[in-house]
Every structure is written in C-alpha cells, then in structure tokens.
Amino acid sequence: MKAKALNRSLWVFHVNTGSCNGCDIEIVAAMTPRYDLERFGIKLVGSPRHADVLLVTGPVTRDMKKKLKLIYDQTPDPKVVMSVGNCGNSTGVFYESYNIEGPIDRIVPVDIYVAGCPPRPEAIIDGVVKAWKKLEEMKKK
C-alpha cells in the first residue's frame, strides 16, 4: 500500500502560557528569512480553528490553564501538540512556584517536546518535521 502523504501545508497556532518571550522570539525567528519555515508553507495562523499544530510555550500559569484547555478543544482533529522550551517540558526554573500549574503535558497531551532554554530555531524546525510525520501517521489510521 502506498503511504499517503499529508495533502496540505501545516498551519501552526502559537499559545504563550506564561513564557518569558525567549522561545516565542525563536519561533518567529524560525519563520523569518534566515531559517524560513514559510518556504514549506508552514505558517502561524490567527485562530486555533485553522491550525494543525499547537505550539505551546511557557510553564502554564494558573490563569492560562483554562485557556489552554479551551484552545486545545478548539483545534480540529487530527492535531499535534508541540511543547517548546524547557519550562513547557518540565516547568524549568519555575518548578516550585505557587502560580504554576504546568508542565504542559499535565494539562493537554503533548506529542513533541523541544528542549532548550530557549531552543534554537533549528531545534524548533526539527520538532515541526517530527510533528509532520506524526500527523501523516495519524492520517493513515
């Protein structure tokens, strides 16, 4: 049987759940000319309803927990959740804080973890490639 590829470009929605901006600016850097993810048609979109990939940064503050859940529910299936940065993966330096509900995988299921504080744009691109493969697999099922 021929493997069926994803027949469209990935659209990404970015949620900041209390990040320090470090990961966020590296995500934008990955989109802009030096690293240029947009050449593959991958782009940041304004609504989770248009997205295939949820890119989540930050250790999830108490205020953002409900909003993250809501955004996850608004994203149509099949979807992939990417956690970018150490504080999203493990709450990082904020681990003991009273206002942190994270890490992200405690709130929504995470498929791809990108490590680094902040991760380099190359690492984010690598994560997106893995997300793409995962989406293709989901599509096959």
Partner 1 sequence: MKPEDNTYSICVGPVHPALKEPVKLNMQIDGEKVTGVDFELSQVHRGIEWAATRRNPIQVLFLAERICGICNMSHMISFSRAVESIGGIEVPPRAHYIRVIGAELERIHSHILWAGVAAHELGFDSLMHYTWKLRENVLDTVEYITGNRITKGLITIGGVRHDIPKKKFPRIIDTAHFYSSHFDKMADMFLKDRVIMSRTRDVGVLSKRDALTTCAVGPTARASGVKKDVRKDEAYAAYQDLDVEPVLPDAYTGEIHGDVYDRVLVRLLEVKQSAEIIERAVRQMPEGPIAWEEKPAALLAKLKPLAGDGIGRHEAPRGEVIHYVRMTGEEHPYAWKVRAPTYNNMMAWVPLLMNEQIADIPVIAASIDPCMSCTNRAVKAGTNDVIYSKEHLHRLSVQKTRELRRKMK
**Binding residues for partner 1 (CB under 8 A):** 15-26, 28-29, 32-34, 45-47, 58-59, 61-64, 67, 71, 87, 92-94, 96-100, 117-118, 120
Tokens 């955004």 belong to which residue?
Answer: 71
Nearer to partner 1, 73 or 96 (CB): 96
Other CB atoms closer than 10 Å to residue 29's CB: what's the count?
A: 16
Nearer to partner 1, 50 or 140 (CB): 50
Shortest distance in whole angstroms from residue 137 CB to partner 1: 28
Amino acid making up residue 64 = M
Sign of the torsion formed by the C-alpha atoms of 140, 74, 50 and 104: negative
Q: Are 114 and 84 in contact (CB under 8 A)?
A: yes
Sign of the torsion formed by the C-alpha atoms of 52, 26, 107 and 99: negative
Shortest distance in whole angstroms from residue 105 CB to partner 1: 18
Check residue 116 and give left, alpha or beta (phi > 0: left; psi -120 to 50: alpha).
left
Shortest distance in whole angstroms from residue 136 CB to partner 1: 27
Shortest distance in whole angstroms from residue 25 CB to partner 1: 6
Nearer to partner 1, 115 or 138 (CB): 115
Nearer to partner 1, 14 or 135 (CB): 14
Can you state the angle between helices 22-31 and 121-140, rounded to 10 degrees?
Answer: 70
Nearer to partner 1, 5 or 70 (CB): 70
Shortest distance in whole angstroms from residue 5 CB to partner 1: 28
